[in-house]
């Protein structure tokens, strides 16, 4: 029987390295500082992040909005490849683009990273990605937590989650109450799979006979499959806020798990339907690749994945051309993908994709 370390058990012998946590904080300090907004008080290292709320006194009736999310099993792909610098961007996108769906400007975010063994460089890469996402979204990374759970998680295992707070003027709140028949659906292109459906993706990769490998370089993709899968989620927050400021937007639908129909249905009033025309866009090749190699039915693909549409703006009929011009000026690929009609509060896709 192995004897206990002289002086009795300590935290290190239980698998927790406090010193590694301190080194990780030092490595990510500069990345977090890049996200600071004028309202941020102090820096990292305190017990709580501080944000000067006096700015809210300029609102007539400010509504605070909050959202929380994770990256799902996309982290397993990052872990398998040993690449950790993109999943933090995914995390920010999943959270702030939910916030902006109601018209809220993301103000600040906090994150939580848990791992089996705390490796400072890995934590710095993950949180560095979160910081980069916050820079893209225009919000501050106000604080976070890094936890080490030995014996509960394997040494290479990790997960991350986050939450953000935003603000919107009450009379500028977007959503179903504003949507009406005649509105136009403006689709904004996704950067790929984003962060949804990866349990199915992993099954397709790992199942015998699938003939898909992370090392493969399918001709249809023009790059390695691994690179395609870890493409970070597009962050639409600033683009959506600019769009809402520049034309008559009634709602945004962030297209995540559930696909186009389910997420559009969340912003419809009970007397209106959204009809999306598949003929208005070509889904990126990765979706066809996964469907073909895995034998996944088209309906299931549309239920699980975004199929190339990451965000939809529901705009007034007379604002469609203006909306497209504004998005083009911001280098966001977008197109008119359908319209809202009288109905019963459901969304559906019709027609076929080109080709």
Please write the tens of the pLDDT for every residue from 88-119.
999 999 999 999 999 999 999 999 999 999 88
Task: Label residue 27 by pLDDT band (50, 70, 90).
Answer: low
Q: What integer pLDDT is reported at residue 18 of this predicted model?
A: 59
Q: How far apart, in whole angstroms, are the C-alpha atoms of residue 113 and residue 347?
A: 36
Task: Assess whether pLDDT exceeds 80 at residue 326.
Answer: yes
Task: Assess whether pLDDT exceeds 60 at residue 166.
Answer: yes
Q: What integer pLDDT is reported at residue 245 of this predicted model?
A: 97
Count CB-CB contacts under 10 A for residue 246.
16
Task: Label residue 87 by pLDDT band (50, 70, 90).
Answer: very high
Q: What integer pLDDT is reported at residue 48 of this predicted model?
A: 86
Cross-strand pairs, 70: 161
Q: What is the pTM of this model?
A: 0.91
**Averaged pLDDT for residues 166-190:** 98
For 40, residues 6+ apart whose C-beta sits below 8 A from its C-beta are 49, 50, 51, 52, 108, 140, 142
- Ordered DSSP codes for 239-290: HHHHHHHHS-EEEEEE--TTHHHHHHHTT--TTEEEEEEGGG-PPPHHHHHH
Nearest to 130, CA basis, from 166, 99, 90: 90
266 vs 193, 342, 347, CA distance in Å?
21, 16, 9
Task: Label residue 4 by pLDDT band (50, 70, 90).
Answer: very low
Q: What is the pLDDT of residues 199-239, one digit of tens each?
A: 999 998 887 666 678 888 999 999 999 999 999 999 999 99
């Amino acid at each position: 029987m192995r004897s206990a370390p002289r002086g009795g058990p300590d935290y290190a012998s239980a698998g927790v390295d406090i010193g590694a946590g301190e080194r990780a904080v030092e490595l990510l300090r500069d990345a977090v500082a890049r996200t600071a907004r004028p309202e941020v008080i102090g820096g990292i290292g305190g017990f709580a992040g501080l944000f000067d709320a006096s700015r809210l006194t300029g609102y007539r009736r400010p509504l605070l909005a909050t959202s929380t999310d994770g990256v799902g099993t996309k982290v397993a792909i990052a872990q398998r490849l040993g690449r950790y610098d993109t999943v933090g961007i995914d995390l920010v996108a999943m959270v702030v683009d939910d916030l902006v769906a109601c018209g809220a400007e993301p103000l600040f975010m906090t994150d939580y990273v848990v791992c089996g063994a705390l490796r400072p460089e890995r934590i710095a890469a993950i949180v560095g990605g979160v910081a980069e996402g916050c820079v893209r979204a225009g919000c501050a990374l106000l604080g976070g937590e890094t936890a080490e759970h030995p014996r509960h998680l394997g040494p290479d295992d990790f997960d991350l989650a986050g939450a953000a707070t935003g603000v919107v003027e009450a009379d500028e709140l977007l959503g179903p109450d504003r949507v009406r028949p005649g509105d136009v659906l403006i689709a904004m292109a996704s950067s790929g799979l984003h962060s949804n459906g990866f349990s199915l993706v992993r099954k397709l990769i790992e199942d015998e006979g699938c003939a898909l490998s992370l090392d493969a370089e399918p001709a249809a993709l023009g790059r390695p499959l691994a690179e395609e899968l870890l493409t970070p989620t597009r962050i639409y927050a600033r683009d959506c806020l600019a769009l809402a400021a520049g034309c008559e937007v009634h709602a945004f639908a962030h297209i995540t798990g559930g696909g186009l129909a389910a997420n559009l249905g969340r912003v419809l009033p009970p007397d209106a339907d959204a009809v999306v025309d598949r003929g208005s866009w070509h889904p990126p090749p990765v979706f066809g690749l996964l469907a073909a190699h895995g034998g996944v039915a088209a309906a299931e693909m549309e239920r699980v994945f975004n199929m190339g549409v990451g965000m939809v703006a529901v705009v007034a009929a007379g604002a469609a051309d203006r909306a497209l011009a504004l998005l083009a000026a911001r280098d966001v690929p977008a197109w008119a993908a359908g319209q809202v009609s009288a109905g019963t509060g459901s969304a559906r896709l019709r027609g076929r994709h080109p080709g």
